[in-house]
């Protein structure tokens, strides 16, 4: 297997490099790397090279600091990944199609886990923000520190099983027609497959990140009092009715403080990582193989 990059004598193989290129291209542009324009390919290659080098350097730093994930920790992390596939066999097929042996995947996962544990250690070493720092950050960024828009929404959910798709669609369509004249909360209490039936289908006030994106798109564009068209999500088929809207408003300092602390911590961690990677690169032997 061809070596693309060497970091202190450790090879980054063509397979890993290719997988990273395709992964970034898919996440950022929804395309395979080969489908990108030449200039986009060149830019992505440069960024992926930098990220792979940084990951290798940070792994070496983690090992030097005695951060060595156990086999049990690594197995737990792999189990989390396997659970996102339809079955263990589907995961095994994915590895085989990618040309990755199970022990190689174990090594890759252990390496990623070590880097994340290094992040956690560096984060925990950061000093806590002082009240003065928090207040200064709040004054500088207060226009961006707002509540999410929220809506009070009721819904009716009809779940779909493999053997009842037609029946589920017929039932939700019939309920959609009845909801034009009948009380929506009563219909939800009688027919919905969601635990919210006890509250007449009410989910209370929700913000966009709280719910399925397709559900949120309808909920935040629907006029109060109007029953939606049928909405399909991974949970089944829904009808929505918005009761009330709450527009965004500025957060008070007390409300914003937890968010400010998280933001300041992540900014400080990013700066620390940038300086650490720059220092490690300055001491490393890095070779790019054409």
Beta carbons of 74 and 116 less than 8 angstroms apart: no
**What is the per-residue pLDDT for 224?**
95
Report pLDDT for 163. Answer: 73
pLDDT of residue 95: 80
Domain residue spans of the chain: 3-127+266-288, 150-246
Average pLDDT, the chain: 91
Query: Which residue ranges in the chain fall short of pLDDT 50?
Result: none
> Span 150-246: which CATH code?
3.10.50.40
DSSP class per residue in 187-214 = HHHHH--SGGGGGTTEEEEEEGGGS-HH
CATH number of 3-127+266-288: 1.10.4030.10
The closest alpha carbon to 196, from 238, 167, 228, 161, belongs to 238
Q: DSSP letters along 105-123, please? A: HHHHHHHHHHHHHHHHHHH
Task: Identify the pLDDT of residue 230.
Answer: 96
Q: Quick one: pLDDT at residue 21?
A: 84
Q: How far is CA 144 from the centre of its chain?
A: 22
What pTM does this model have? 0.70
pLDDT value of residue 23: 75
Q: In sequence order, what are the beta bridge partners of 146?
A: 250
pLDDT at 30: 73
Residue 153 backbone dihedrals phi, psi, to 5 degrees = -125, 140
Query: Quick check: do 3-127+266-288 and 150-246 share a fold?
Result: no
- In the chain, DSSP finds a helix count (H) and a strand count (E) of 10, 7
Beta bridge mates, 10: 7
């Amino acid at each position: 297997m061809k070596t693309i990059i060497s970091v202190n004598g450790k090879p980054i193989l063509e397979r890993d490099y290719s997988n990273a290129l395709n992964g970034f291209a898919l996440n950022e542009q929804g395309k395979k790397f080969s489908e990108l324009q030449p200039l986009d390919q060149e830019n992505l290659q440069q960024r992926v090279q930098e990220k792979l080098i940084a990951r290798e350097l940070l792994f070496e730093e983690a090992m030097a600091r005695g951060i060595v994930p156990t086999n049990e920790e690594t197995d737990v992390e792999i189990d989390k990944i396997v659970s996102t596939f339809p079955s263990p066999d589907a995961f095994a097929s994915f590895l085989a199609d990618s040309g990755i042996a199970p022990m190689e995947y174990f090594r890759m996962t252990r390496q990623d886990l070590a880097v994340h544990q290094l992040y956690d250690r560096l984060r925990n070493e950061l000093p806590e923000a002082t009240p003065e720092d928090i207040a200064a950050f709040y004054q500088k960024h207060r226009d961006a520190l707002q509540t999410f828009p929220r809506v009070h929404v009721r819904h009716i959910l009809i779940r779909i099983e493999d053997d009842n798709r037609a029946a589920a669609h017929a039932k939700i369509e019939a309920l959609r027609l009845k909801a034009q004249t009948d009380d929506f909360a009563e219909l939800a209490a009688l027919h919905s497959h969601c635990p919210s039936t006890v509250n007449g289908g009410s989910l209370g006030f929700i913000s966009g990140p709280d719910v399925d994106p397709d559900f949120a798109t309808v909920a935040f564009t629907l006029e109060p009092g109007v029953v939606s068209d049928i909405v399909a999500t991974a949970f089944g088929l829904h009808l929505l009715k918005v009761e009330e809207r709450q527009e965004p408003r500025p957060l008070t300092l007390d409300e914003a403080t937890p968010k400010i602390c998280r933001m300041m911590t992540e900014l400080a961690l990013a700066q620390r990582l940038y300086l650490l990677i720059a220092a490690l690169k300055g001491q490393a032997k890095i070779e790019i193989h054409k």
